[in-house]
Amino acid sequence: MTYTLILTITTLLLGFCLSFAGFYIYKEKAKTVLSSVLKKELAFAPIYISAAIMLTLLYFITPLSDDFIHDFGAGELFVPLLLTGICYLISLFPSSAKFLNLAIILSVSGAVFLLPTDFLLFKGHLPFWADRLALIVLWSIFSCFYGIFNGIDGILPIQSLSYLLTLMILAVLGAAPLFLGLAALSLLTATCSFLSYNWFPSKINLSDNSCKIFGYLLGSLMVLGCSENLAPCFAIVLTIFALELVQSLCKKLSGRERYKKLNTNTICYQAHIKGLNPEQVCLSFFKIEILFIMLGCFQAYLPNNYSLPIASLFLAAWFLNKLKHWDDPELSLKEINQEFMSDLRQNIKNIKNTINRD
């Protein structure tokens, strides 16, 4: 217990120092040394470098024996880290950045190929090949569209903190391996450092390409968590992201020019455009995510994998609807009843008029 506590505190302090120092150096030096294009892409460097150092150290000093359901080897950790670095290098150069989505999909496929053969995401529901294909599709979608919240200061790191906090708490409760909990903590410290610079008004922002790479890195850690039967827990925390992505894609597919950019189609961004301060959007988002984190941790001890995720879907839809109509006046119960009866009478009248015309 003492060893675990010391390791946790050391991870927290070292991870925060590495990432915060990296962001400070980037903020102070990048504007005088780098071109405007490369400067924005290098904002992700402190996150990746600190994560790579911390995860490598944790792998060699954290006891891994008898802690994982499936056999856990160096490949499951270091191959995604290496592929993250390769994708990041591709994103730095305009000539190769246009192939970033393809590079991410290939990286996802390579990382999935190295997973233990006895790990199935939809065990008992899909054959092996279909399960692997579904995992590749879900991980690729998560990575390629992770920048959907990049339109508002602070939202992206808050969303990232939700997954990491869930995994870290599950490790404290004994539902996830110690290594995964410490890995989540190391990425959490880097994300907190980013949040301190990205909070409204932001001093540092990630580019859309860097968001995709960040999504791939977070996705690799969540896949390791899913191999510990924690997929329903992450599904709960991902609910708002999933709903925002679906409705944003539907708007984009409509072909209208104003829906061309996905990260401006989100309800969070539209609430900001209607006058809600980014800080208020972030705080509202963080409050509902705290509830999803609690539900996600509770889900780890339930025998049913579907009830809470479905309930979370309705809860997320309610939250987004409230956020969308944040400036609408609040109605009393009497006014709601009167409005309902008025609509009902009008509908009946319309039906009668239709029948009379026929």
CA distances from 233 to 148, 256, 298, 307 (A): 21, 36, 8, 11
Per-residue pLDDT of the chain (358 residues; tens, 9 = 90+): 577 788 888 888 888 889 988 888 888 776 665 555 556 788 899 999 999 999 999 988 887 766 788 887 888 889 999 999 999 999 988 889 999 999 999 999 999 999 988 899 988 888 999 999 999 999 999 999 999 999 899 999 999 999 999 999 999 998 999 899 999 999 999 999 999 999 988 888 899 999 999 999 999 999 999 989 899 999 999 999 999 999 999 888 888 888 888 889 999 999 988 888 899 999 999 999 999 999 999 999 988 888 899 999 999 999 998 888 887 776 555 665 666 577 667 767 776 676 666 5
The domains of the chain are located at: 2-327
Q: Is the pTM of this model over 0.75?
A: yes
Burial of 306 (0-12, 13-18, 19+ CB in 10 A): exposed
Q: Which two tokens stand for residue 23?
A: 């962001």
DSSP string, 61-90: HS--TT--SS---HHHHHHHHHHHHHHHHH
Cβ atoms of 266 and 252 within 8 Å: the answer is: no
To the nearest 10 degrees (0 to 180), the angle between helices 45-61 and 74-91 is 170
